[in-house]
Structure formats: C-alpha cells, structure tokens
Amino acid sequence: MKISERFLKYVSFTTTSDENTKLTPSTPGQLIFAKYLVDELSSIGMQDVDLDSNGYIMATLPANTDMEVPTIGFIAHMDTSPDMTAEQVKARIIKNFDGNDIMLNPEKNIILSTSKYKDILNYIGQDIIVTDGTTLLGADDKAGLTEIVSAMEYLIQHPEIKHGKIRICFTPDEEIGQGADHFDVQKFGAEWAYTMDGGEIGELEYENFNAASAKVTFNGLNVHPGYAKNKMVNSMLIANQFIGLLPREETPECTQGYQGFFHLINMEGTVESSSLSFIIRDHDNDKFELRKGLFQELVAKINEEFGAATATVEIHDQYYNMHDKIKPVMHIIGLAHEAMLQVGITPKVKPIRGGTDGSRLSYMGLPCPNIFAGGHNFHGRFEYVPVPSMEKATMLILKIANLLTQKQSNTYTTN
C-alpha cells in the first residue's frame, strides 16, 4: 500500500482522546482503530501481534541475521488531540504544491496562508496532504503510525535488508498525557526505542520540558450587590489579580527554545468560587522547581491580603526532561543522526517544547528519543503533512535498523 493511501485510511478513524472519561483507552474510537491495526499488522507478516486490555498494540519483526544485534523499538500513538475535532476528517492531496495560498474550504473561506505559515514554502513541488479546514488532520501521530507500518512491511518484503529484532508499539491517549501509563517496558523487551512523533523533517530530539499542572482555587463570598460594601469577596477578581502577579513575558507566546513558561489553559468562576488551571514548563530542573515554588509564594501572598484559605493550589508533576536518561546512552542519538545523513536528511537536533511518551518511557527504563513524523501545525485546522516527509521517515526507520546491524560496536558519536 502506498504511504499516502495508508495515511488517508488512518485519518478516517476518529480517535480523539478525552481526559474526562477516566478510561483506558479514553475513547472507543481508539480501540476500533487498534483492532484495524492489529489485523493489518498480522496481514503484512508481523509476529507476536498483541492488543492488550488497555489498548496497547505490540508486535515483533524477528531478526533476519545471526549477528548479535540489540533489540530496538519504534513507537507511535493512535489518539489525536482533543484541541480540535477529528470527526469525519476530509483530507485531500495537493499535488505538486505551487507555493500559493491553499483554499481549504471555499464555502467557509478557510485559507491556509503561506505568509502566516511560511514553513510550507519549503515544500514547493511536493504533494501535501491537508484538511478541508473544519477538523485537524491527525498527522500527530498517524503519520508516525503510517511510517512504522510501512517500514515493517518493506523489511518483510525485502529480506535482503539485514536487521536485528524490532519491536513496535502503538499507544493510546498520548495527547492527554496518559500514553505511558500502562506501557509494559519489560514485555516490550527493547534496549531502546524511538518515538516517531516529531514535526518537520529532520527533527531529532532528546531533550524536553519538565512538566507540571497547577490548579489554583479561590474562595469568595457572595452578597446582594446593593448591600455588598465591606462584605462581598469576588473570587473572580482575586483570580484575575493572581494572573497579574505572574510574569507576563513568561508565556508560550513570548518564549522559545529552552525558555520555560506558565500557561493558563482554563478558567472558571463565580463570585463564590473560581479556579485557574495552568501548565508549568521548563527544561532546566532548578528553574522548574522555582516555577512551582512561585505558585506557592503567590498563593501565600493572596492569603495574606484576603485572609487564610482564600486561595489554595494543587500542583502535580507530569513528566521530566528525558535528557538525563539519554545522556548516558548517546550512541542511540548518534545512530539516528548517522542514519539521517545516509538517507539524505539534514538532522535538526533541538529541544522539544513539549513532551512525548518517550520522556516518560525514558524514566521507566526504556531510553526513547523522538524522531520527526513530518507534519506541521499540529492540533489545528491548518495541519498538513508533505508526503515526501513521510516517505523519508519510513526510509530512516529502515536505515536505522540496517545500520545498527552493520555496526560492530554499540558506540556511536554524532558529528
């Protein structure tokens, strides 16, 4: 099956995850898709294909060489982001993209602007898959799924390409931070793995944010507004004051690279009670702790002004920077780096301004850096993926597997 055909089939499944269900997988569409993938993996010749009760798929491509080669893995996630609907995705291929704005939806006048999304100009002359502007596309991470399945199929059909044992896993609920919750590292049995879950072609990532969630609750007192003087305490105004105490320039829209941030993601309120939900991010461990500490300090400041228990905060760590776990095994980065060069990809080694399953898996004993899947503008209506980027990612998986087999040592260095 062509890569583009496989991808278009995958995005036809609705697999949006939902953190509110408290189920695993969190939505039934993921399990429907998982059963389809199990049948497909079996049909192309993968072995030990298993779908567990939590919706995790694992499968094996046995080694076809007698050489002692470490078992490696490739991982992608089946769910799509709840940030935008993925029901009835209407994807289409823009053949030989000419560099002009793309009219996604004439009826609703939804246009993918090349002046706003300049990266798309890097793909002039290529086939690009887009939506009709009413849904996200789902390249995050159905492009990664497509690439792994396509690579396994190719290796099965071309036994002349020598490789060690390869394990693959497709996980549910990555987009809601639960993709590694029920991942059985021992069962997976790989020495290391790569998540195919990055963005543009060339991305190779082994650093990510330390992450925490914070919910600040404010208690007020409602009184008839006509008789409220010196009695009413409006929790919404106190919540607004709390927001103003945070450094304005340390938000996602004002930061880049290694810079951390505070991000207000939800607010609810009445006079009596209000809440603010934040995510806290920083690559540096010490700065991460300081950011969490600032929330405690500001809550204490609010309580000092308005009275004890006016504000409370709950902070929960979500994941940590995988750098500390990858650094002792940098040969796995060197292997991917060298493989990229051999298939004509310019490596772009940079920190992830986010997290992947790989960050948690690395702390669970499975070193797991991240490789590009090829998509752009994830989680929104202007998401797109160049077909050649998916083809190159597939080639990269093949090269990593073969290059590892060719090596006589497990030690690699980056250029």
Give the rounded percent of residues in the chain with a pLDDT score beyond 90: 95
Q: How many angstroms separate the CA atoms of 31 and 78, rounded?
A: 9
Q: How many angstroms separate the CA atoms of 142 and 13, rounded?
A: 10
Q: DSSP secondary structure string, 91-148?
A: -EEETT--SS-EEEETTTTEEE-TTTSGGGGGGTTS-EEE--SSS---HHHHHHHHHH
Q: How many angstroms separate the CA atoms of 56 and 386, rounded?
A: 28
Residue 411: inside a domain, yes or no? Answer: no
Kindly report which listed range (99-113, 245-259, 300-314, 397-411) carries the lowest average pLDDT score.
Answer: 397-411
Domain boundary pick from 319, 336, 361:
319
Residue 348: inside a domain, yes or no? Answer: yes
396: CATH: 3.40.630.10
The model carries a pTM of: 0.90
Please tell me whether residues 165 and 283 are part of one structural domain.
no
Please tell me whether residues 166 and 301 are part of one structural domain.
no
Model pLDDT, residue 171: 98
Please tell me whether residues 192 and 274 are part of one structural domain.
no
Note the residue count of the chain.
415
Please tell me whether residues 118 and 11 are part of one structural domain.
yes
Residue 414: inside a domain, yes or no? Answer: no
Model pLDDT, residue 412: 39
Segment 127-140 mean pLDDT: 98
CA angle, residues 211, 214, 215, in degrees to nearest 5: 160
Give the rounded percent of residues in the chain with a pLDDT score beyond 70: 98
Q: What total number of domains does the chain contain?
A: 2
Model pLDDT, residue 415: 36
Please tell me whether residues 192 and 335 are part of one structural domain.
yes
**261 has a pLDDT exceeding 80:** yes
**20 has a pLDDT exceeding 60:** yes
Q: What is the pLDDT of residues 151-170, one digit of tens each?
A: 999 999 999 999 999 999 99
Residue 326: burial class (beta carbons within 10 Å; 0-12, 13-18, 19+): buried
Residue 10: inside a domain, yes or no? Answer: yes
Segment 229-248 mean pLDDT: 97
Please tell me whether residues 194 and 248 are part of one structural domain.
no
Q: What is the pLDDT of residues 313-353, one digit of tens each?
A: 999 999 999 999 999 999 999 999 999 999 999 999 999 99
Measured on CA atoms in the order 365, 371, 373, 377, is the torsion positive or negative? Answer: positive
Expressed as residue numbers, the domain containing 282 is: 210-319
Query: E-assigned strands of 155-198?
Result: 166-171, 192-198
Segment 299-305 mean pLDDT: 97
CA 225 distance to own-chain centroid = 47
Please tell me whether residues 99 and 158 are part of one structural domain.
yes
Segment 180-199 mean pLDDT: 97
Q: How many angstroms separate the CA atoms of 291 and 280, rounded?
A: 7
Give me the torsion for CA of 401, 406, 410, 411, rounded to 10°. Answer: -110
Domain boundary pick from 275, 295, 319:
319
Mean pLDDT over the full length of the chain: 96
Please tell me whether residues 63 and 152 are part of one structural domain.
yes
**203 has a pLDDT exceeding 70:** yes
Domain boundary pick from 286, 302, 319:
319
**413 has a pLDDT exceeding 70:** no
Residue 95: inside a domain, yes or no? Answer: yes
Model pLDDT, residue 356: 81
Residue 96: inside a domain, yes or no? Answer: yes
Catalytic residues: 79, 174
Residue 74: inside a domain, yes or no? Answer: yes
Please tell me whether residues 302 and 346 are part of one structural domain.
no
294: CATH: 3.30.70.360
Coil vs helix vs strand at 344: coil
Please tell me whether residues 102 and 195 are part of one structural domain.
yes
pLDDT grade for 411, boundaries at 50, 70 and 90: very low
| 92: alpha, beta or left? (left if phi > 0; alpha if psi -120 to 50) | beta
**26 has a pLDDT exceeding 60:** yes
Q: What is the pLDDT of residues 380-393, one digit of tens each?
A: 999 999 999 999 99
Please tell me whether residues 334 and 399 are part of one structural domain.
yes
Please tell me whether residues 121 and 264 are part of one structural domain.
no
Residue with tokens 């998916």: 390
Residue 413: inside a domain, yes or no? Answer: no
